[in-house]
Amino acid sequence: MSLSKLSNSILTKRQTSSILLQWVNQQQNYYNNSKYFQSSISKNINNNICNIQKSSYCTSTVTTSTINSTTINNIFKQDDNLKTNNNTENDDVENTNPIEYRDPLKHNMVNIKSKSYKEIYDDFKWDIPKHFNIGGEICDKHVENGNDLYNESNKLANALKELGIKKGDRVGVLLSQGFETAVSHCAILKYGGITIPLFTLFGPEALEYRLSNAEASCVLTDSDNLPKLKKILPLLPNLKKIIVFNQDKDEQTTTSTKKKGSRKSSLNFFEDEYLNISCIEYWNEIKSKYSSEFKTVNTKSDDPALIIFTSGTTGNPKGCLHAHRVLIGHLPGVQLPQNLFPQQDRKLLFYTPADWAWIGGLIDVLFPSLFYGVPVLAHRAQKFDPIKIASLMERHSVTTCFLPPTSIKMMRQSKLPTNHKIASIGSGGESLGDQLLEWGKETFGTTINEFYGQTEANLIVGNCSAIMDVKPGSMGRPIPGHKVDIIDENGNTLPTGSIGNIALKKPDPVIFLRYWKNEKATKKKYINDWLVTGDLGKKDSDGYIWYSSRDDDLINSSGYRIGPGEIEHCLLRHKAVALSGVIGVPDEIRGEIVKAYIVLKPGVEPTEELKLEIQNFVKTQLAAHEYPRLIEFIESLPMTTTGKIMRKDLREKHQKDHGTKTK
């Protein structure tokens, strides 16, 4: 299906999905082979695509406006006279002449299929320019329909400036997948602010914790999420501005006649109650009043760009402060697990059910897609429904996916019928195991490439079935440009096969700057020059990394160090098991024993005979000391919003139910 047909099919069906098409060249200025970096693209770059065929972000009447596009040239002639003073302190960056752009892997990824992983890894060298802006300008052509990202992000950036938001101020983005979410992030970053992605399914307490911790001065949200903010305003003394994208279908502006419409404002409840907070409706008070021209604020590669909070699997969420260089650092980790993305021999459409408030949705999908000009499918879903999501992917001919492990497990459980073949699927967060990999291959016609990382430093290990063997159960090999190894508690690298801390060597562009307002936790994250992930694993003789467990999830039984992941994978191979979570519980003789919480498949009766059958099954598959001596059937497992098993909650449940304290 062509992009035009794809877009039209989505628009005419009036779904709660939208296409962010071809934010072309926007981030191609992130990386170049010249000595200096310019944070704005020239207004006269030739062959820019701005093939915009977007729906309004609302969910009712939808209109489009189209500009014919031509094929983009990735490489432009470099102006020999192009100079930039690396020490400049100017706040604004003027438009510059065209420069030559280079792929971050220093290779044309489409043409390296004959190269081995080793050749790519050995050849890789970072070249991060000092001046680097994640929110650089896009191009000079645009569509006058209000959905052009270039215009709207510039208008919003101008509004932020006039509202008194300063460079370095923290701005929350409480929006689900959609065009306005991309507009918001780009406007904040162009202006030099620090963006805080926020999950729309968070309740007031979770939002208050993050906004208060980050000392946010402004929030961009929609009318659906505004009531949650109202509840916590007295607890947010730093919050002074709220900008609202109204999503009411009855208040939509129709743009087919290119008339500037207006939208009603439903924000009057703020006027008397909180006089020191300005609440501004975007479509009435920003869209029509601010210029679509904006000079991008000069930011450097190490300047703060965003705060993403951890999922809180081991305690209170911590705000990870990342620099503008974070996108460049992530690109190789997107290209390889997505089988040499972006493949230029086919039309691409990228999708993830992971919310764009998480690093997996924002940095692994949205930003890289915008960098390469690849369309992104945005879908507002309140709850993951495997049948509906599979249908959505097939209906819109999705070619490229990031699917969290929990999503894949739920799809497998649902026995979804699909003939939809996908070019590449990446997955990370929890190990899949051979059973899920086999199912994915049969269902989608491609090998799911597992990758590994965390909010503090993501996409540092991964698989690429296009150029290397995939070993089921392994997270893959270190991504080119990243030094990943297994170390002990003193920072010494361990021999092949030894279990230790998975660690990343500094300096590295994906490593976060620090935990926001938490110097103690930041220091604990490092051993010498190694960032310690907190995950245990081992490396085999081929350089593949194998995940064992979180260091605090490790089970010590009779002197054996047991990781729960391997047992969980084994349990999934049993015909009755849908999901499982494994923990260690106290035992007077062995110190700890293995306990498994198991979710059974539909129709399976939870009996004592079944427990014994499962125990014997694990005994025949793993070492004798690894089988679960205790099994408890449970209706559902506690999961983070990113799909990770919250084993600390399982430990707390065991303690509450049995009165025995776990670690």
548 or 571, higher pLDDT: 571
Mean pLDDT score, 265-294: 65
pLDDT (0 to 100) of residue 113: 56
* Angle in degrees, CA 149, 512, 328, rounded to 5: 45
Mean residue pLDDT of the chain comes to 75
Is the peptide bond prior to 342 cis by the omega test (within 30 degrees of 0)?
yes
The first and second tokens of residue 351, run together, are 């999708």
Alpha helix positions (H), 351-462: 359-361, 367-372, 386-395, 405-414, 434-444
The residues, any chain, with a CB within 8 Å of residue 39's CB and separated by 6 or more, are: 29, 93, 131, 132, 133, 136, 296, 298, 299
Q: Kindly report the pTM of this predicted structure.
A: 0.72
Q: Which one-letter DSSP state was computed for residue 593?
A: E
Domains of the chain: 3-305 (3.40.50.980), 555-658 (3.30.300.30)
Distances (CA, A) of 330 to 124, 335, 461, 511: 14, 9, 11, 10
The enclosing H or E element of 630 equals strand 630-633
131-167 pLDDT, tens digit per residue, is 555 544 333 333 223 346 778 889 999 999 999 999 9
For 363-366, which contacts have Cβ atoms below 8 Å and span 24 or more sequence positions? Answer: 363/308, 363/326, 363/327, 363/330, 363/458, 363/459, 364/330, 364/333, 364/334, 364/402, 364/426, 364/428, 364/458, 364/459, 365/402, 366/20, 366/181, 366/182, 366/185
> Whose CA is closest to 455, among 361, 353, 581?
361
Contact between 651 and 572 (Cβ < 8 Å)? no
- Bond into 507 cis (ω within 30): yes
Determine the length of the chain: 663
Q: Amino acid identity, residue 242?
A: I
Pairing of strands 591-600, 577-587: antiparallel
Amino acid at 421: K
Asked which of 92-101, 151-160, 200-209, 550-559 is least confident by mean pLDDT, the reply is: 92-101
Q: Smallest Cα–Cα separation from 431: which of 399, 464, 409, 401?
A: 409
Other Cβ atoms less than 10 A from the Cβ of 331: the count is 27
Maximum mean pLDDT: which of 294-308, 336-350, 558-572: 294-308
Strand partners, 192: none
Dist. CA 395–CA 70, nearest whole Å = 26
Summarize pLDDT for 510-528 with one digit per residue, the tens.
999 999 999 999 999 999 9
